[in-house]
Amino acid sequence: MEQSISRRGFLKAAAATSAALAVSGETSTFFDQPGQAFADSASKRTMYKTACHGCAHCCAVKAYVEDGVVVKLEGDPDGPLNRGGMCLKGLSQLHTVYSPRRVLHPMKRVGERGENKWEAITWDEALDLAGTQIAEAVKKYGGYSLWTAQGGGGAYIQAETRGINATFGGCNTVASGSNQCAMPREMITKATLGFQGCVNMGDMGRFVGCWTAEAFKTRVPEPEDRLFVIWGLQPTANGVAHTGHALTDARALFGAKTIVVDPYLTSEASKADVWLPVRPGTDSALLLAWIRWIIDNKRYNEKYCKYWTNLPFLINPETKLPYEATDIWPDYVNPAIDPNGIYDTPAYVCFDEKTQSVQPFPYTAPDDSPVDPAIFTTAMVNGVEAKTAGQIWWEEASPWTLEAAAETCWLEADKIEEALELYVSIENSGITGGVFSEQQECTSAVPLGMVMIDAMMGRVLTPNSSYVKHGKNSIPTHRPTLRIAEGREMCERYGVGWMIGWTKEHNDEYLSSKVQAWNDQGRDGEAMRKQFVQAMFDTLGSNAHKGMHQWTQSALKETREAIITGEPYRPRVNYEVSGNKYMVVSPALEWQKAYAEQDFIIQQFPNMTSFTVDCVDLFLPTEEWLEFDNYGDNGSSMIRSYARQQVVHMGEAVNPFVVPWHVTHSAIEALGEENCFDAHATDGFFYETIESARATFAKKLGKNSWDEVLADQDHLYTEISPEDYFIFNQHETIVDDGLPAGFATMSRKVEPYCSLLIRLARTGFPYMYPFDQPACDDYDPICKFKEPSESPLTDTEYPLVLTNGRVPHFHHNTMRHAPFVRECMPAPELKINPVTAAEYGINHGDWVKVTSRRGSCSLVAYLTEGIAPGVLITERFWNPECFDDTQSSITAGFEECNCNVLGAEFQNDVFSSNSYRALQVKIEKGSKPDRVWVESSEFEPFMPTRQNEANKEEVF
Amino acid sequence: MAKGLLINLDRCHGCDSCIVACKLENGLELGSFYNRVAAVGPTGTYPNVQKYWLPVQCQQCENPHCVEVCPTGASYRDEKTGYVLIDKSKCIGCHYCLYACPYGVRDFNEKGGYAQKCTLCAQITADGSDVPVCVHNCPAGARLFGDYDDPQSDVCKEMDRYGDECVHTLPDCGGAHPLTRYILSPSIAEWKGLI
């Protein structure tokens, strides 16, 4: 530590000199220190293996360096999924790493916000400023005045900032990639299945990868039928060379069939066996129609439903929770009870077909069950009429005939049935849902419906299911357990949260030990835990939307409102570790008003964005992916997890996992450790020096040092052998209590009736145990359909329904400053049916002004028969050219072409997700906004200019 | 020897990565392209539609019109590789080849005053050690490179996997005999034969 401080002191002088030179436009050649990756690359071409970070996934790639400059990138043929492929997002790193937009020194705002005027300062000055601002706010207004913000899966650093909050007793984190992406699907699959199912497109690789080991190695087709139901996701536009390549291989080599549910004729849809262009916002109705058809036609797996799901459980109509056997028969002896009192396997209550009576339903292997439980029935329990969970699902689904769904979803009943016949006929299949549901009100309903369908078919832990576990370590040896929160380490740290599968006694004992551990350190453990839980209760929006505890998140709407109104308190200082927030939070213009109210905003990122220009006070430059060493973050390529290595390194850009350590510790120093809630809350997330980061990465890779890792250039990854990777039907494994392992759920079975959501709403269980968070309205434990708050059925003023999707050219807010990408896709397209376009006099290529109740933006019309009349689709966009030096006047570039200004704050109750999709707009012929570039030649100022920038050693 | 590209449109999903890979490898300027990706369709009427993507670059014709019309020999067939190429030093910028090319895949370098086009990345493929970068990097594995005269080449092996009804060429205008083959299965979409 002492060593690094002294080195930092030395480099500070160097940095000041080079900063001045950089600002004056000269190229610095002082203090060049050849780094390890480029040490001997002069005048010859050297190849370095690394892993792309152009999106949320990871393709193995090769970088070629000449004279310290990366001159070529290409996909690594050894990559398990990309097999040599590298998409335009990844390839364009060759431009963005050397982009004139790169910031290589800390920058302090000198003009007004929005003027884009900056002064280069030293890292010492920057960290002092950051630390002082945070500390002063915490001192004056308390820990809640600090809030942090993260990106999504494509950001170089994502779900780690909760530790910064905890350090200072804060509690609010806003991420573009949580409530609005992946987190809800993760939570629902964990709550219903006991493990994380295929919740994002990254997992599509795993999903497609559910081949046998032999097939994976040889890619030789086997004679089984395979089917993927791709519901609202675009693997070929997201992980283009990763998930897209895998899906393409599955189709071409294995003859895999696909059903695609998507409003637009995506590339997936264009190659699908059946395409169901569902009306945006009505997916829940279609899911219920699938469920109804499968039940009505008795196509479900009856034995699986009876013995491996909670569908036969009788539900107490008062509590909405399943009856446990001891509720009815207090003296009932549960045969699955753990004599050691550690594991919990409750017995429930069913209607037994054999005895035609209500009976206890203990957990057993299916063939050992004393009962033959009815799935769909109603029975009298203690004089009360109770339905089974299956019956509750059936009654919800029963209005949704194919005809009813066709009418609501704007589909053809025959097509829905064609899809269903295909789905039920191919056993090796499953449904994967995309991010669409998390950007509208049906966030929790859709994954519940998807789980129900696959669970009814018994397609869990089976080949080609979305719900599979990998590797020998995933084979259970005892009753499976799960602490479902992704932020579990934070709750666990302070002795909060219920481990599913443990008894109450064992949970209490464990949590008490955590409290005691703090006592042993001289802290009041119980007081700390109460303070932590209070902060969780005080997290903005967390009372109404308790599902956000899954990733320890705040609600966008409630956070925005709190900043504006100061109620219940005002977050004042923001630390943002991702790029252009205006691209990913909506309604963007309302957020702009909130950000204007902030006392101080710190951002770390490789380049400035609209967000930087519009509201940032202190900008901390971080490295591009060719510049940073990393392992363990977004590095999964099915059987392998890849490390990234530093290939070049310019200026004073710092590893994104190192900057937060220094910001946090600068604030701790300014505040005094004794005034922090937990000065070590970020330990393990962030690193003081690149050396400490490398040591950690090396250890995770099973190596003694980072040098040892680099010495084996061809193996910058850990690997699970294909034989050990594909392990199906793990729930049938007999474990140490003599019973089949089952699932890490409350009942040890798949729970399509998600009673955990009921308990969550009422007390915050399981996250907040042993404390009770004040109750909110119950959450629905099953999928229900609700017409979106803004609907084309009733909206005459804004008659068109708009949704959005992905294009392969960008990952969320990336690559708008990559010149070769922009000339391929200069402006966001508004896909519109020619019939609708004609109604508005709009021609192909026309600029269109699109207006919702929140604002307007300009998009380019793309006329296509690939979308229904009355439905529109576009993608989010921003225009970094709007604040280019060549412009005579500037804007921040997020309003012009960004459909995110149209988004609404209609929320999902469980997760608080806003509505960015399935909302109502009106359109008219428009014109190209000022400053926006569309011609190839206009992008010249984005061409790379920094190839001559000297490679420098890390600052920290 | 007839080395060229084969593009499997059953796989291609129109991501434009081949365009960017090409431009980076060949140092092309903004506005210059050796290859393009056209969306063909959707044809039909919603929701009964078909669509595929058609990447187009120099077709390496057997009877290249560009060579025929070139007054200086700048457009030529390279003896060693068999590629149709352009010798920039001999090009006088007359544009004849741009007009003669049936597929519109020649580009004019305004700064240098010469015609340019896809070279099959001759700088890395001429010695047989590598494949064009659009082939190497294609995120869908849709592009293959090889000798159409060699049954063991990647292009011939890929064609063998599909029936004759799936293998297409761009329309043969004036007997140019384009070498490049496209695979498109009728189950994905009907081949439109468009350029």
CA distance linking residue A360 with residue A348, whole number of Å = 6
CB contact (8 A) between residue B136 and residue A74: yes
Question: Which of A80 and A529 is assigned the larger pLDDT?
Answer: A529
CB contact (8 A) between residue B136 and residue A75: yes
Task: Report chain B's mean pLDDT, rounded to a whole number.
Answer: 97
Q: Once rounded to an integer, what is the mean pLDDT over residues A272-287?
A: 98
- SS3 percent helix, strand, coil of chain A, rounded to 5, is 35, 15, 50
Nearest CA-CA distance, residue A607 and chain B, Å: 21
CB A394 within 8 A of CB A267: no
Query: CB-based burial of residue A478 (10 Å sphere; 0-12 exposed, 13-18 middle, 19+ buried)?
Result: middle
Return the closest-CA partner of residue A166 out of A490, A550, A484, A488: A490
Coil/strand/helix, residue A107: strand
For A733, the token pair is: 């494994």
Q: Once rounded to an integer, what is the mean pLDDT over residues A238-254?
A: 90
Give the ranges where A790-906 is alpha helix by DSSP (H). Answer: 819-824, 834-839
**What are the backbone dihedrals phi and psi of residue A348, each rounded to the nearest 5 degrees, phi first?**
-110, -160
Chain segment A547-600, per-residue pLDDT in tens: 999 999 999 999 999 999 999 999 999 999 999 999 999 999 999 999 999 999
Chain segment A609-618, per-residue pLDDT in tens: 999 999 999 9
Q: Once rounded to an integer, what is the mean pLDDT over residues A371-390?
A: 97
CA distance linking residue A790 with residue A522, whole number of Å = 55
| Residue A196 scores a pLDDT above 70 | yes
CA distance linking residue A353 with residue A342, whole number of Å = 33
Torsion sign (Cα): A742, A745, A747, A750: negative
Strand partners, A803: A873
Nearest CA-CA distance, residue A864 and chain B, Å: 7
Q: What is the DSSP letter of A238?
A: S
Question: The complex's ipTM?
Answer: 0.98
CB A392 within 8 A of CB A782: yes
Q: Once rounded to an integer, what is the mean pLDDT over residues A237-264?
A: 92
Mode of pairing for the β-strands spanning A630-637 and A618-621: unpaired
* Kind plus residue range of the DSSP H or E element containing A363: none
Nearest CA-CA distance, residue A74 and chain B, Å: 6
Nearest CA-CA distance, residue B50 and chain A, Å: 6
Q: Name residue, tokens 């494949």.
A: B131
CB contact (8 A) between residue A236 and residue B136: no
CA distance linking residue A276 with residue A278, whole number of Å = 6
Q: Which of A201, A836, A865, A942 to mutate to test the interface with B (most CBs of B within 10 A)?
A: A865
Coil/strand/helix, residue A858: strand
B52 touches chain A (CB under 8 A): yes
Other Cβ atoms within 10 Å of A232 Cβ, number: 24
Q: Once rounded to an integer, what is the mean pLDDT over residues A525-550?
A: 97
Q: Once rounded to an integer, what is the mean pLDDT over residues A927-948?
A: 97
CB B177 within 8 A of CB B61: yes
Which of chain B's residues have a Cβ under 8 Å away from the Cβ of A864?
42
What are the b/e assignments for A722-744, b being 16+ CB within 10 Å?
bebbbbbebbeeebebebbbbbb
% of residues, chain A, pLDDT over 70: 92
**Which stretches does DSSP call E strand in B25-169?**
36-45, 48-56, 75-77, 84-86, 107-109, 114-116, 143-147, 167-168
Q: Once rounded to an integer, what is the mean pLDDT over residues A760-785?
A: 98
Coil/strand/helix, residue A343: strand
Q: In what order do the strands lie in the sheet with A630-637?
A: A630-637, A640-644, A717-719
The pLDDT of residue A206 is 61
Torsional class of A200: left (φ above 0), alpha (ψ -120 to 50), beta (otherwise): beta
| Residue A61 scores a pLDDT above 90 | yes
The pLDDT of residue A159 is 63
CB contact (8 A) between residue B53 and residue A267: yes
Which of chain B's residues have a Cβ under 8 Å away from the Cβ of A838?
none
Nearest CA-CA distance, residue B174 and chain A, Å: 31
Question: Which of A654 and A81 is assigned the larger pLDDT?
Answer: A654
The pLDDT of residue A35 is 44
B186 touches chain A (CB under 8 A): no
CB contact (8 A) between residue A265 and residue B51: yes
Which of chain B's residues have a Cβ under 8 Å away from the Cβ of A272?
none
Task: Report chain A's mean pLDDT, rounded to a whole number.
Answer: 92
Query: CB-based burial of residue A512 (10 Å sphere; 0-12 exposed, 13-18 middle, 19+ buried)?
Result: middle
* Kind plus residue range of the DSSP H or E element containing A643: strand A640-644
Chain segment A459-468, per-residue pLDDT in tens: 999 988 889 8
CB A879 within 8 A of CB A932: yes
Q: Once rounded to an integer, what is the mean pLDDT over residues A854-881?
A: 98
Q: What is the CA radius of gyration of chain A?
A: 28
Which of chain B's residues have a Cβ under 8 Å away from the Cβ of A91?
17, 20-21, 24, 137
CB contact (8 A) between residue A245 and residue B46: no
CA distance linking residue A616 with residue A376, whole number of Å = 57
CB contact (8 A) between residue A75 and residue B15: no
CA distance linking residue B98 with residue B105, whole number of Å = 8
B140 touches chain A (CB under 8 A): yes
Which of chain B's residues have a Cβ under 8 Å away from the Cβ of A95?
24
pLDDT band at residue A210 using 50, 70 and 90 as cut-offs? low
Nearest CA-CA distance, residue A267 and chain B, Å: 6
Which chain B residue lies closest to A263 (C-alpha atoms)? B47
Other Cβ atoms within 10 Å of A626 Cβ, number: 27
Q: Once rounded to an integer, what is the mean pLDDT over residues A869-889?
A: 98
CB B89 within 8 A of CB B113: no
| Residue A928 scores a pLDDT above 60 | yes
Which of chain A's residues have a Cβ under 8 Å away from the Cβ of B51?
265, 270, 866
The pLDDT of residue A202 is 56
Question: Which of B19, B46, B136 is closest, CB to CB, to A824?
Answer: B19
Longest dimension (CA), chain A: 89
Coil/strand/helix, residue A426: coil
**What are the backbone dihedrals phi and psi of residue A903, each rounded to the nearest 5 degrees, phi first?**
-60, 160
| Residue A933 scores a pLDDT above 90 | yes
CA distance linking residue B140 with residue B142, whole number of Å = 5
CA distance linking residue A226 with residue A254, whole number of Å = 8
The pLDDT of residue A155 is 86
| Residue A157 scores a pLDDT above 80 | yes
Question: Which of B47, B137, B189 is closest, CB to CB, to A91?
Answer: B137
Nearest CA-CA distance, residue B93 and chain A, Å: 21
CA distance linking residue A40 with residue A213, whole number of Å = 41
CB contact (8 A) between residue A91 and residue B19: no
CB contact (8 A) between residue B30 and residue A819: yes
CB contact (8 A) between residue B13 and residue A271: yes
Question: Which of A808 and A197 is assigned the larger pLDDT?
Answer: A808
DSSP labels, A497-524: ---BTB-HHHHHHHHHHHHHHHHHTTS-
The pLDDT of residue A87 is 98
Tell me the C-alpha to C-alpha distance, in Å, between residue A733 and each of A178, A187, A468, A483, A501: 34, 25, 15, 21, 17
% of residues, chain B, pLDDT over 90: 97
The pLDDT of residue A219 is 67
Tell me the C-alpha to C-alpha distance, in Å, between residue A347 and each of A7, A330, A425, A719: 63, 12, 34, 40
Return the closest-CA partner of residue A931 out of A859, A879, A858: A879
CA distance linking residue A127 with residue A662, whole number of Å = 7
Q: What is the DSSP letter of A320?
A: S
Return the closest-CA partner of residue A933 out of A866, A886, A876, A873: A886
pLDDT band at residue A754 using 50, 70 and 90 as cut-offs? very high
Return the closest-CA partner of residue A130 out of A677, A689, A674, A661: A661
CA dihedral of residues A198, A183, A269, A295 (deg, nearest 10): 70
Chain segment B45-72, per-residue pLDDT in tens: 999 999 999 999 999 999 999 999 999 9
- What type of residue is A130? A
| Residue A3 scores a pLDDT above 90 | no
| Residue A324 scores a pLDDT above 60 | yes
CB A897 within 8 A of CB A891: no
The pLDDT of residue A211 is 59
Q: Once rounded to an integer, what is the mean pLDDT over residues B95-118?
A: 96
Which of chain B's residues have a Cβ under 8 Å away from the Cβ of A866?
41-42, 46, 49, 51
The pLDDT of residue B72 is 97
Nearest CA-CA distance, residue B72 and chain A, Å: 31
| Residue A5 scores a pLDDT above 60 | no
Q: Once rounded to an integer, what is the mean pLDDT over residues A503-518?
A: 97
- Measured in Å, how far apart are chain B's first and last C-alpha atoms? 26
The pLDDT of residue A503 is 98
Chain segment A409-449, per-residue pLDDT in tens: 999 999 999 999 999 999 999 999 999 999 999 999 999 99
The pLDDT of residue A203 is 60
| Residue A30 scores a pLDDT above 60 | no
